[in-house]
Amino acid sequence: MINKRIYLIAIFGILALVSCKKDKEISPEYTSLKINFSYTVDGHPLIFDSIMYSNDAGELYAVSRLEYYVSNITFHRPYGDIHKTNKIFYLEATTPSANSILLDSIPTGRYSYITFNVGLDANHNVSYSLPNTAENINMAWPAMMGGGYHFLKLEGHYLIDSSNFGYAMHLGGNASLVSCKINEECIVNYYDPKLGFKMNINEWFRTPHIYSFNTDGNYSMGDSLLMTKIKSNGFDAFSLQK
């Protein structure tokens, strides 16, 4: 009787181990994550070429072009672990198909916050280092200014006393790399692996520097002071799309 009881205990033990192992093997730990990018101005959807938005300097403006690179996307766990992707993505806001990216092999679960760069780090910000596509060629930064690529092109028009003027907020050069942080908790779900990143255009002109096209300057390219202001303002330009 004792031997039979020991035998049954052993059988149940083996089955439990096999069951645990099987559950661990089929438990989804990684997924391909799709991130969709959208654009607003203080909660209002961005409509291109419409002078209907106001920045903190009180200037009415429109956006006609928005192109940029996103790189070094890093997911931060509550207990300190991180997962970083080295992929570089080109985004172009006026084209819906150019506003989604796919990250492979992202660990599922809960993350405390997300960091990434707008632009390319010094190791990648080298002329001709990116594939020779029309988009990358168009984003080239002039060799006389150090070469590499534009990190951001934000262009449009603004009004002063009913007069229409153009503006072009361009960032480039290693010193203009923008460090962004989405300080919000998120969950990467194996069964619905999607996130939304939302850019608020006005944040580029808000904190810590209120930027005025009229008094600061409407063309930033080559002006280190203006590019520094725009770069500094970009740290909180993104949030999670709810």
User: What pLDDT score does 20 carry?
Assistant: 41
Domain assignment present for 143: yes
30 vs 129: CA distance, rounded Å? 30
Q: What is the rounded CA–CA span in Å between residue 82 and residue 88?
A: 18
- Flag whether 15 is in a domain: no
Contact status, residue 190 vs residue 183, Cβ threshold 8 Å: no
Q: What is the pLDDT of residue 192?
A: 87
Residues in the chain where the model's pLDDT stays below 70: 1-28
> Is residue 114 a contact partner of residue 182, using CB atoms and an 8 Å limit?
yes
| pLDDT value for 14 | 43
Residue 67 lies in a domain: yes
Instruction: Give the helix ranges, DSSP H, for 68-167.
Output: 134-138
Residue 211 domain-assigned (yes or no): yes
Spatial separation of the C-alpha atoms in residues 182 and 73, rounded to whole Å: 11
157-201 pLDDT, tens per residue?
Answer: 999 988 999 999 999 999 999 999 999 999 999 988 999 999 999
User: How many domains is the chain partitioned into structurally?
Assistant: 1
Residue 164 covered by a domain: yes
Beta carbons within 8 Å of 222's beta carbon, 6+ residues apart: 145
Q: Which domain holds residue 236?
A: 30-240
State residue 21's pLDDT score.
Answer: 39
Residue 8's Cβ-count burial label (10 Å; 0-12, 13-18, 19+) is: exposed
Tell me, yes or no, whether 16 lies in a domain. Answer: no
Tokens of 158: 């603004």
Is the separation of the CB atoms in 21 and 28 below 8 Å?
Answer: no
Indicate whether 56 belongs to any domain: yes
C-alpha to C-alpha distances, 88 to 94, 113, 132, nearest whole angstrom: 19, 20, 14
Neighbours of 199 (CB within 10 A): 25
List, in sequence order, every residue forming a beta bridge with 124; answer none if it has no partner: none
| Separation between Cα atoms, residue 70 and residue 82, nearest integer Å | 18
3-state per-residue secondary structure call for 201-239: HHHHHCCCCCCCCCCCCCECCCCHHHHHHHHHHHHHCEE
Burial of 154 (0-12, 13-18, 19+ CB in 10 A): buried
Residue 216, domain member (yes or no): yes
Three-class SS state of 81 = coil
**pTM for this predicted structure:** 0.87
